[in-house]
Amino acid sequence: MLSTLDATRICARWSPDQADAWTRPVPVPLRAPRPASTSGYSWRALLRNPQALAVTGMVAALVTVDGAVARLRRG
């Protein structure tokens, strides 16, 4: 069943190119090495993506409210 949804097979079947063109790996550009002092994640990265910033804010608000409600119920 899942083999019928495989994008590589679908593209190879309907493409005028040779079938092996769809099985070649895509080259991935190398990233510059990070300094050892950084953790690899910065909250400032969210500023470039407003949707990620909004989702992070909504999730943080829900977690905060849920934690506050659970603490108030305990007493």
Do the domain assignments include residue 30?
no
Whether residue 72 has pLDDT greater than 90: yes
Do the domain assignments include residue 20?
no
Number of domains comprising the chain: 1
Residue-number span of the structural domain to which 53 is assigned: 45-75
Do the domain assignments include residue 50?
yes
Do the domain assignments include residue 61?
yes
Do the domain assignments include residue 4?
no
Do the domain assignments include residue 73?
yes
Do the domain assignments include residue 68?
yes
Mean pLDDT rounded to a whole number for the chain: 76
Closest CA to 47 of 39, 56, 59, 58: 56
Total H helices, total E strands in the chain: 2, 0
Q: Taking the model in full, what pTM does it have? A: 0.41
